[in-house]
Copies of this chain bind each other. A is one copy, B any other.
Amino acid sequence: MTSAKRFNGNLMDQFLKNGRSIILAYDQGLEHGPSVDFDNRNVDPSFIVEIASKGGFSGLALQKGVAERYYDGKVPLIVKVNGKSNLVKGEPVSRQTCSVEYAVSLGAKAVGYTIYLGSEHEAEMFAEFGKIQEEAHERGIAAITWVYPRGAAIANDTSKEIVACAARTALELGADAAKIKYTGDTQSFSWAVRSAGKTKVFMSGGPKAPTNDAFLIQVRGAIDAGATGVAVGRNVWQHAEPMKMADLLRQVVFENLQIPAMSKPAA
C-alpha cells in the first residue's frame, strides 16, 4: 500500500517566515465596491502593491484583473479565483472567474477561493473548490480558501462553533490554508485552529478597527491561539500610516510583540 504521491505539504512555505505569515488582501473593490472602502489614495492598486513589498508582507491577494495590470512580482501572489458584488441579496454564491492556469500565468503561488458555508449554494462552491484545489496541487501551487459562514442558516458567524466549522471545512476539502473570522478570544479561536489541523489558519482582518491596538490585540489573540498569521486589508491600506501598521503587524506576528491588555476593543 502506498501513501499519497501528489501532496506537497510545503506549498505554503513561500508565504511563511519561521512558520508565520502576513498576507495583504485587496479584493474589496469587487466585493464591497470602491465607494465603501476606498479613498483617492487606496483606490489605486499601485498604492497597495507598493505597501505589500515595502511593508514586508508575506503575500498579496488580488483578483485577476488587478494582478495582471499591477502586480510587480516582489511579493508572493495569491490570485482570488472567485468573487461577487455585494449588490445581490439572498443566499450568497461566488463563482469561479479565473482559471488556475491563468492565475499561474499571472505569477500566482496560490489561488484563493471563497466558500459561503451554510449558504443554499454551498454545494456548488464545494464542488467548484474541489476542482480548483486539485488543479492547484497539480500545478504545484497552494489552494487557500476564505471560508465565510453566511446565509439565512447562520445566526452568528463568529461563534466558536461556527468558526471551527469553517476551519474544519478547509481541512476536509484539502485547502492548504484557511482565512476565517476571529472568534473574539484566544481560547475559542484555538478550537478553530485545532479543528483545522495541518491546514494553516489566517485570521481575517475585517473592517478598520478604531485604534491600532483594537486590531492588534485580535492578531495577538489569533497568533497565541496557534494561527499562522493574518490576512489583512483595510486595517493596513485604510490606515493613515500603512507602514507603521505593517511594522506593528510584523512585530506582533513575527516577533511576538505583546499588546497591552487595557486596549481591548469595545465590546
A35:B93 contact, CB within 8 angstroms: no
Please determine whether A43 and B123 come into contact, CB atoms closer than 8 angstroms.
Answer: no
Contact A97 B43 (CB under 8 A): no
Instruction: Decide if B7 touches A69 in the complex (CB within 8 Å).
Output: yes
Selected from B3, B63, B71, the residue in CB contact (under 8 A) with A173 is B63
- Report if A254 contacts B (CB, 8 A): no
**Which residues of chain A from 97 to 114 have any CB-CB distance to chain B below 8 Å in the complex?**
97-99, 102, 105-107, 109
**Interface digits, A195-231 against B, CB 8 Å rule (1 contact, 0 not)?**
1011100000000000000000000000000000000
| Range class of the A interface residue count | 35 or more
Also in contact, A87 and B165, with CB within 8 A (given A1-B73, A194-B44): yes
Which of B98, B118, B160, B174 lies in contact with A65, CB distance below 8 A? B174
Say which residue of B6, B98, B130, B171 sits within 8 Å of A29 (CB atoms).
B171
Tell me the bound Cα distance from A41 to B167 in angstroms.
17
Q: Is A124 close to B, CB under 8 A? A: yes
Asked if A149 is at the interface (CB within 8 A of a chain B CB), the reply is: yes
| Residue in B closest to A152 when the chains form the complex, CB atoms | B89
Chain B residues with Cβ under 8 A from A109's Cβ? Answer: 1
Q: Which residues on B sit within 8 Å (CB–CB) of A2?
A: 73, 107
11 A-B residue pairs with Cβ-Cβ distance under 8 Å, sorted by A, are: A1-B107, A5-B107, A27-B172, A30-B168, A34-B167, A44-B194, A63-B173, A87-B118, A87-B165, A97-B127, A99-B130
